[in-house]
């Protein structure tokens, strides 16, 4: 089968950017499984949330380092109402509680496979790689048996990763978790307002310099993508969610680690909704300055509601 990258199309005929982000499940597979498992609601307050006052902020960017085809700009004032948002992405430990309480099966489990980055494939999973390609992104492997509890493919597990963000979850899976926990996904404007941490138009969640004083403040790629990751920040794949300092509002991992699903549908330049696609924010451990610097606070990409990969997770809001 052939798979698709999750890179945006600006709706105006421009070529798509480099497909470094979250790969999309092919349409043929998308129609081959039933919808999400039913869940029963759990108690509100399952996740620790930070209350934010809301207000008007400058959303988007005209930064020359940005990707115009991602529709990052123009800079415009946006007002958000008061809301609450989780300090961290949902962790493996939190998602495990949800699965234990409901018996929920993710899209990756129902389809039977998910995308794993080639350098992270467990040695025991090599025979489980499917004959599939992502155009322009051969580093993504479709791996049978890859799922949230086996993030690097069959034979891998969660020991030592309890506080890493859950991955191999789709937008539908995230909504099921939210239904159970009495929460929801954040709107894109809420996500960016929270991620900025009170800074106005800073390039990153902490300011305008990526590594102030040589200090790494997020989990992204160092080295020569996609073959060599020097892991100068300490990690090749995901990292525990509170490893790096929080932003001014107390949120961790709003840059790097994993892409975060939002409630926002993807719209083209004319404002038309792309059916079945939603906005993802924050970048991941695969983003690299020379290739995909989407760990900038205004950066964005998209995915489909049933796609899953080893670099996409979510955080909840209310």
% helix, strand, coil for the chain, step of 5: 15, 25, 60
Instruction: Identify which of 6, 3, 20 has the alpha carbon closest to the alpha carbon of residue 303.
Output: 6
Which domains are present in the chain? 27-317 (3.90.1580.10)
Cβ atoms 22, 108 nearer than 8 A: no
pTM, two decimals, is 0.90
- Which pairs with CB-CB distance under 8 Å and at least 24 residues apart come from 119-122? 119/226, 119/227, 119/229, 119/236, 120/151, 120/152, 120/236, 120/237, 120/310, 121/152, 121/153, 122/150, 122/152, 122/153, 122/154, 122/155, 122/156
Which is more confident, 63 or 22? 63
The one-character DSSP state at 177 is H
Asked if residues 193 and 82 have their Cβ atoms less than 8 Å apart, the reply is: no
- The size of the chain, in residues, is 318
Mean pLDDT within 191-214:
98
Average pLDDT over residues 189-214: 98
Confidence band of 11 (pLDDT split at 50, 70, 90)? very low
Q: Which residue intervals of 136-200 are DSSP H helices?
A: 171-181, 188-196
Which residue in the block uniquely carries the two structure tokens 């989407």?
A: 294
Cα Rg of the chain (Å, integer) = 18
Pairing of strands 312-314, 259-267: parallel
Query: Cα separation of 305 and 175, whole Å?
Result: 10
pLDDT in the model for residue 47: 57
Tell me how far apart the alpha carbons of residues 174 and 315 are, in angstroms, rounded to a whole number.
9
Q: How far apart are CA 296 and CA 293, in angstroms?
A: 6
Give residue-wise pLDDT tens across range 27-61. Answer: 755 444 444 444 544 444 445 899 999 999 999 99
Torsion over CA: 15, 17, 18, 22 (sign): negative
Rounded CA separation 246/253 (Å): 7
| The pLDDT of residue 32 | 45
Encode pLDDT of 98-157 as tens digits: 999 999 999 999 999 999 999 999 999 999 999 887 888 999 999 999 999 999 999 999
How far, in Å, CA of 174 to CA of 166, rounded?
A: 10
Task: Using DSSP, state whether 215 is helix, strand or coil.
Answer: coil
pLDDT at residue number 288:
92
The answer to whether 316 and 183 are in contact (CB under 8 A) is: yes
Cβ partners under 8 Å of residue 44, min gap 6: 181, 182, 183, 318
DSSP state of 165: B
DSSP string for residues in 56-103 = EEEES---TTS-GGGT----EEEEE--EEEESSPPBHHHHHHHHHHH-
Instruction: Report, as an integer, the average pLDDT of 180-196.
Output: 98
pLDDT of residue 1: 55
Position 12 scores a pLDDT of 41
Share of the chain above pLDDT 70, in %: 87
Q: What's the CA gap between 289 and 298, in Å, rounded?
A: 15
Over the stretch 202-213, which tens digit does the pLDDT of each residue have? 999 999 999 999
State whether residue 257 is helix, strand or coil: coil
């Amino acid at each position: 089968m052939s798979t698709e990258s999750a890179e945006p199309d600006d709706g105006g005929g421009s070529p798509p950017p480099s497909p470094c982000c979250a790969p999309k499940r092919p349409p043929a597979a998308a129609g081959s499984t039933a919808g999400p498992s039913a869940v029963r609601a759990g108690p509100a307050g399952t996740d620790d949330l930070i209350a934010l006052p809301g207000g008007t902020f400058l959303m988007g960017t005209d930064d020359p380092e940005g990707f115009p085809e991602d529709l990052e700009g123009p800079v415009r004032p946006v007002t958000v109402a008061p809301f609450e948002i989780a300090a961290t992405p949902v962790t493996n430990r939190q998602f495990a509680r949800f699965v234990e309480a409901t018996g929920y099966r993710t899209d990756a489990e129902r389809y039977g496979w998910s995308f794993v980055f080639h350098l992270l494939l467990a040695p025991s999973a090599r025979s489980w790689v499917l004959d599939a390609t992502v155009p322009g992104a051969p580093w993504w492997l479709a791996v049978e048996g890859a799922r949230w509890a086996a993030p690097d493919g069959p034979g891998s597990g969660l020991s030592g990763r309890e506080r890493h963000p859950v991955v191999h979850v789709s937008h539908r899976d995230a909504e099921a978790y939210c239904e159970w926990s009495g929460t929801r996904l954040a709107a894109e404007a809420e996500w960016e307002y929270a991620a900025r941490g009170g800074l106005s138009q800073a390039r990153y969640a902490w300011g305008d310099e990526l590594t102030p004083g040589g200090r790494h403040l997020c989990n992204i790629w160092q080295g020569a993508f996609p073959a060599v990751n020097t892991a100068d920040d300490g990690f090749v794949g995901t990292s525990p969610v509170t490893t790096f300092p929080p932003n001014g509002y107390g949120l961790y991992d709003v840059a790097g680690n994993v892409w975060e699903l939002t409630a926002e549908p993807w719209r083209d330049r004319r404002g038309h909704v792309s059916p079945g696609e939603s906005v993802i924010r924050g970048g991941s451990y695969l983003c690299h300055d020379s290739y995909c610097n989407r760990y900038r606070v205004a950066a964005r990409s998209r995915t489909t509601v049933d796609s899953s990969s080893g670099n996409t997770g979510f955080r909840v809001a209310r």
